[in-house]
Amino acid sequence: MNLLHPITTPRALIRVVNASDAARVWRYRVANREHLAPWEPLRDASYFTVEHCIHTLAEMHRAVQQDRSYAMVALDLAGEEILASFTLANVMRGSFQACHLGYSVAAHWQGLGLMREVLGAALPWAFHALDLHRVMANYMPSNQRSGRLLEHLGFEREGYAKQYLQIAGRWEDHILTARLRTESA
C-alpha cells in the first residue's frame, strides 16, 4: 500500500495527513470553527492552537503506523490548503475488516459536490489499498446534507442508535449506514 502517493480528483489532492500539515490543519480548524461546531464534540480552546494540531498529527501518524486509523486531507490542486478532511477510524481487522468514516468540508466549499468527489475517489482506495470490507458512517437525523451525501455514495441504512455520540455537548441519536466492498468499488 502506498500511503505517500496522493489520489488526484478534478479539484483535489487526497493524501494521509503528516507532520508538515500542522499550520494547514490549524487554519482549517480556526476557519471552520462555527461551521463544524454543531456536528462535532465540544472543543476546548486549546484545540484551536498550533500546539494542539502538532500533537494531533503525531497521534495520527502513530495510528497509521499501527493500522488503527487513517486521517486524510483533500487539498487544493496546488497542495496548499485543506478543502475537506475525512478519517477512516477504528479500523478493525480479522473477520470484520471494517472502519468508521467521519468527514467534513470547509464552509466555503459546501454544496459544490466536493465531498462526493473526494469520497468517491477515496472509498475504492479504502476498500482495495486498505483491504477493508465494510465502511460504516453514521449521521444525526437532522444532518440531511450528510444523509444525502452517503446515499449518493451508495451507503445503505442499517439501523438507528439512540444517544449514540456526544455532539456539541448532547448525546445525539444517529442513523447507522454502511457501504460494502464490491468487485467494482
At position 78, the amino acid (one-letter code) is A
Cell of 19: 507532520
Q: The C-alpha cell of 76 is what?
A: 487544493
Integer Rg of the chain from CA:
16
Residue 83: Cβ-neighbour burial (10 angstroms; 0-12, 13-18, 19+): buried
Cα–chain center distance at 38: 16
Minimum distance from residue 116 beta carbon to ligand COA (Å): 3
105 binds ligand COA (CB under 6 A): yes
21 or 172: whose CB is closer to ligand COA?
172
Letters for 11-50 (x = contact with ligand COA by CB under 6 A, - = none) are: -------------------------x--x-----------
| 143 is a site residue for ligand COA (CB under 6 A) | yes
Minimum CB distance to ligand COA smaller for 79 or for 141 = 141
- Binder among 69, 145, 154, 164 for ligand COA (CB under 6 A): 145
Residue 164 amino acid letter: Y
- Mark the segment that binds ligand COA (CB under 6 A) among 62-70, 124-132, 146-154, 155-163: 146-154
Number of shown-chain residues binding ligand COA (CB under 6 A): 19
Which of 56/138 has CB closer to ligand COA? 138
Pairing of strands 156-167, 82-92: unpaired
Q: Kindly report the CA angle at 102 between 147 and 138, in degrees rounded to 5?
A: 45
The one-character DSSP state at 134 is: E
Residues that bind ligand COA (CB under 6 A): 36, 39, 103-105, 110-116, 139, 143, 145-146, 148-149, 152
